[in-house]
Amino acid sequence: MSNQINAFIFDLDGVITDTAEYHFNAWSELAKDIGIEIDEEFNEQLKGVSRIESLQRILKHGGKENEFTEQEIIELADKKNDHYKTLIAKVTPNDILPGIVDLLEDIKASGIQIALGSASKNAPFILEQLQLNRYFDYIVDAGKVKQGKPHPETFLTAADHFDVPYETCVGVEDAEAGVTAIKDASMFAVGVGSEPILHKANIIFPETKNLSLEKIKSAFNAES
């Protein structure tokens, strides 16, 4: 590994803002409509995963994976997204998680490029609501990613855009699928959340307010 970080690639939901909670609310309600119950523990398997894949996991969880046509599945996913969109319409800069703006400022001041690597097709809208666009040099288009997380494509796309070696990139994630994607991209993984879920990450911070560029840089250098 080179000891210079060239790019940071951030997940959005659950890292920059707490929309992970909104995804959970919207999915719980949709699941209830079709007679399936989901809890926070099961929800961990949905974090970072695309909309359709999330729905397929919910149907499987409820033993209903063969009960809906392809068209009905699309309609259910649309229904969840319509509900989700009403929740994110209320997002404001007050919803930026603690420590995130300071971290983005520190990264920018170090001259390191920043990308958004979210699986969400709603990510550009949310970033606008949060008024954080100015920090991001590139946003991976979730609609164009063929293989969602845990596949590394999202992270590789950002590094390829910047034309920097994968080993010089740092990914920041709150989801198990996301950390797997970062590691499989040969990048340095920063996990935000609990150790048992994110154990594959190179460094873990319990909450966003604990994030520190200093600490990330020294952990990155220690592994270079």
2: CB partners within 8 A, 6+ apart: 165, 167, 168, 224
DSSP per residue over 107-171, as a string? HHHTT-EEEE--S-TTHHHHHHHHT-GGG-SEE--TTT-SS-TTSTHHHHHHHHHHT--GGGEEE
C-alpha–C-alpha distance, residues 163 and 214, integer Å: 24
Residues that bind ligand BG6 (CB under 6 A): 12-13, 20, 23, 46-51, 54, 81, 118-122, 142, 175
**166, 4 in Cβ contact below 8 A?**
no
> For Mg ion, which stretch binds (CB under 5 A), given 8-16, 76-84, 85-93, 136-144?
8-16
As measured in angstroms, the least distance from the Cβ of 216 to Mg ion is 18
Q: Which of 112, 115, 172, 174 binds Mg ion (CB under 5 A)?
A: 174
Q: Which of 123, 145, 175, 203 binds Mg ion (CB under 5 A)?
A: 175
Tokens of 47: 């974090």
Q: Within positions 49 to 108, which residues make up the interface with Mg ion, using CB under 5 A?
A: none
Q: Which of 6, 8, 10, 11 binds Mg ion (CB under 5 A)?
A: 11
As measured in angstroms, the least distance from the Cβ of 149 to ligand BG6 is 8
> For Mg ion, which stretch binds (CB under 5 A), given 7-15, 24-32, 80-88, 138-146?
7-15
As measured in angstroms, the least distance from the Cβ of 84 to ligand BG6 is 6
Catalytic residues: 11, 13
CA quadruple 146, 151, 153, 159: dihedral, nearest 10: 170
Q: Which of 13, 153, 176, 184 binds Mg ion (CB under 5 A)?
A: 13
**72, 33 in Cβ contact below 8 A?**
no
Helix or strand or coil: residue 52?
A: helix
Tokens of 97: 């998680």
Partner touching 174 among Mg ion, ligand BG6, none, CB below 5 to 8 Å by kind: Mg ion
As measured in angstroms, the least distance from the Cβ of 12 to Mg ion is 7
Residue 41 phi/psi, 5° resolution? -65, -45
Q: How many residues bind Mg ion (CB under 5 A)?
A: 5
14 binds Mg ion (CB under 5 A): yes
Distance of CA 101 to the CA centre of its chain: 17
> For Mg ion, which stretch binds (CB under 5 A), given 3-11, 27-35, 128-136, 153-161?
3-11
184 binds Mg ion (CB under 5 A): no
Residues that bind Mg ion (CB under 5 A): 11, 13-14, 174-175
